[in-house]
Structures are given as structure tokens and as C-alpha cells.
């Protein structure tokens, strides 16, 4: 297991019909040791399914065989898990007070 996915927050998304709510989760995906390269993913896909798709990509990257950016991770997830909603925040804004 990668242990690179971290559930940050569960959020509820209201669909077209107000009586139907869809739970989405906000994940922080760590692919390197640098926090500025973390990917924030919002999805209704189960944790295990996301991990199954990203794990081989992250290991290939760590071995120096391939390199991926966030859009490539997202495309791999969308290809493997078309039944789920998948969105990512490319560059989250940090507010320091």
C-alpha cells in the first residue's frame, strides 16, 4: 500500500434533486516528499479504487522510470474509474493570516 492518500474532508454535494445528496471526499495525494507537489482530489470513488490506479504510477515515478503530472494522474483515474466523479484542484490558494 502506498499510504499516500489522506482523507482530508467529507463533503456533501447536492445533485439535481435536492433530496439526493452525494458524498464526495477530499483527498490529499502525496506522490513526492515535497508538500507543494501534493494533489488535492475531490471524488466519490472509494479510497481503495483510487489507490489501485495511482499506486503503479507512483512506484514507476519513484524508480525514475516515468514522470507524471497531476493532469496525467487525473486522466488515469478517469479512464479506470469512469463511473465516478473526479476533480482536482491544480494549485490550491494558501491564505496566510
Per-residue pLDDT of the chain (97 residues; tens, 9 = 90+): 444 555 555 555 545 555 555 678 888 888 777 777 788 888 989 888 998 999 899 888 888 888 888 899 999 999 999 999 998 887 766 777 7
Confidence at residue 77, expressed as pLDDT on a 0 to 100 scale: 96
Among residues 27, 21, 23, the alpha carbon closest in space to that of 11 is found at 23
Cβ atoms 39, 61 nearer than 8 A: no
Full domain range(s) for residue 22? 5-89
Confidence at residue 1, expressed as pLDDT on a 0 to 100 scale: 45
With respect to residue 53, please indicate whether it lies within any of the assigned structural domains. Answer: yes
Confidence at residue 61, expressed as pLDDT on a 0 to 100 scale: 85
Confidence at residue 3, expressed as pLDDT on a 0 to 100 scale: 45
With respect to residue 34, please indicate whether it lies within any of the assigned structural domains. Answer: yes
> What is the CA 40 to chain-centroid distance, rounded?
6
Confidence at residue 90, expressed as pLDDT on a 0 to 100 scale: 75
With respect to residue 12, please indicate whether it lies within any of the assigned structural domains. Answer: yes
Whole-model pTM: value is: 0.74
With respect to residue 75, please indicate whether it lies within any of the assigned structural domains. Answer: yes
Number of domains, the chain: 1
With respect to residue 48, please indicate whether it lies within any of the assigned structural domains. Answer: yes
Amino acid at each position: 500500500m502506498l499510504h499516500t492518500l489522506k482523507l482530508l474532508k467529507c463533503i456533501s454535494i447536492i445533485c439535481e434533486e435536492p433530496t439526493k445528496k452525494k458524498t464526495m471526499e477530499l483527498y490529499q495525494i502525496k506522490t513526492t516528499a515535497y508538500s507543494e507537489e501534493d494533489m488535492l482530489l475531490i471524488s466519490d470513488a472509494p479510497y481503495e479504487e483510487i489507490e489501485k490506479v495511482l499506486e503503479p504510477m507512483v512506484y514507476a515515478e519513484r524508480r525514475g522510470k516515468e514522470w507524471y503530472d497531476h493532469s496525467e494522474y487525473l486522466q488515469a483515474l478517469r479512464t479506470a474509474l469512469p463511473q465516478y466523479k473526479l476533480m482536482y484542484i491544480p494549485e490550491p490558494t494558501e491564505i496566510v493570516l
